[in-house]
Amino acid sequence: MTDLWLIGIGTGNPAHVTLEARQALRDAALVLVPRKGPDKADLADLRHAILNACGSRAPVAEFDMPVRDEGRPYLERVRHWHDEIAALWTRAIATARPQGPVALLVWGDPGLYDSTLRIAARLDPRPRVRVVPGISALQALTAAHAIPFNAVNGAVTVTTGRRLRDFGWPEGTDTVVVMLDGELSFQRLDPAGIEIWWGAFLGLPNQLLEAGPLAQAGPRIVAARAAARARHGWIMDTYLLRRR
């Protein structure tokens, strides 16, 4: 049975990599590194930089991430994509024949909006999975703005741009954190009484931050995001909304 280690590496700042993660990267016998195409090549490069900085001498097997089939309905598309990735891991592991644990460097924390655990569950035979926690985009966002995650005695909903668009402000919560939002879906909300804290490239040298009442900060964020996306060719951003 393969030991599969899913190692959270934080959101881009090499200082996010915990001592536990560093040791795990040194102890791994093989590291799988996804290549996501030219736009996101620097994320693969960052993974290599982290491996070097940690003193990992494990062989690295790179694999090209498959492209999602946009013709399928959303959930079916995601399931099919996970099957394809599991097949690529299986092939890479069979080719490398590691004599010890196989590691993946997982962006942020492996438990938060990440499919790596679900893909691992598809492997046959099932590997023994170990998760090393990492600093997530949520923590990087609230730390960068020096704000608390929750209001006093308040509830927080963590959701996606798609759900904010489809269902609006979630019931029973005064704070909403939105991830995976390529469309800045807060634009669909009535901004009255809402404050926003936004961060892009959190933890990376080109980190961007904006905050303020949604009515004023919203248009600034739309402009900043479009400019940054045009400059870098890609963007990752997260935001927290709080109702006064």
Three-state DSSP class for 160? strand
Nearest distance, CB of residue 95 and ligand SAM, angstroms: 27
Nearest distance, CB of residue 167 and ligand SAM, angstroms: 18
Q: Indicate the residue among 113 and 169 with the shorter CB distance to ligand SAM.
A: 113
Nearest distance, CB of residue 125 and ligand SAM, angstroms: 26
Q: Read out DSSP for 105-158?
A: EESB-TTSS--HHHHHTT-SSPPEEEEE----HHHHHHHHHT--SS-TT--EEE
Q: Indicate the residue among 98 and 203 with the shorter CB distance to ligand SAM.
A: 203
Which strands, in side-by-side order, build the sheet including 175-179?
A: 156-160, 175-179, 237-243, 194-200, 208-213
Site for ligand SAM in 224-243 (CB under 6 A): 236-238
Site size for ligand SAM (CB under 6 A): 21
**Interface pick for ligand SAM out of 11, 56, 159, 173 (rule CB under 6 A):** 11
73 neighbors 81 (Cβ within 8 angstroms): no
- Asked if residue 201 binds ligand SAM (CB under 6 A), the reply is yes
**How far apart (Å, rounded) are the C-alpha atoms in residues 231 and 244?**
34
Question: With CB under 6 A as the contact rule, which of the stretches 15-23, 60-68, 73-81, 202-210 interacts with ligand SAM?
Answer: 202-210
Within 13 Å of residue 90, how many CA atoms lie on the same side as its CB? 14
Nearest distance, CB of residue 171 and ligand SAM, angstroms: 22
199 backbone dihedrals φ, ψ, rounded to 5°: -145, 135
Considering only CA atoms, which of 176, 174, 193, 104 is closest in space to residue 138? Answer: 176
What tokens were used for 221? 């964020």
Question: With CB under 6 A as the contact rule, which of the stretches 29-37, 78-86, 144-152, 196-204 interacts with ligand SAM?
Answer: 196-204
**How far apart (Å, rounded) are the C-alpha atoms in residues 230 and 226?**
6
Nearest distance, CB of residue 65 and ligand SAM, angstroms: 12
Q: Indicate the residue among 46 and 98 with the shorter CB distance to ligand SAM.
A: 46
**How far apart (Å, rounded) are the C-alpha atoms in residues 203 and 237?**
11
- For residues 133 to 162, the per-residue mask of contacts with ligand SAM, x marking binding by CB under 6 A and - elsewhere, is ---xx-------------------------
Nearest distance, CB of residue 153 and ligand SAM, angstroms: 25
What tokens were used for 125? 């035979």
Site for ligand SAM in 75-134 (CB under 6 A): 107-109, 112-114
Binding interface with ligand SAM (CB under 6 A): 11-12, 107-109, 112-114, 136-137, 179-180, 199-204, 236-238
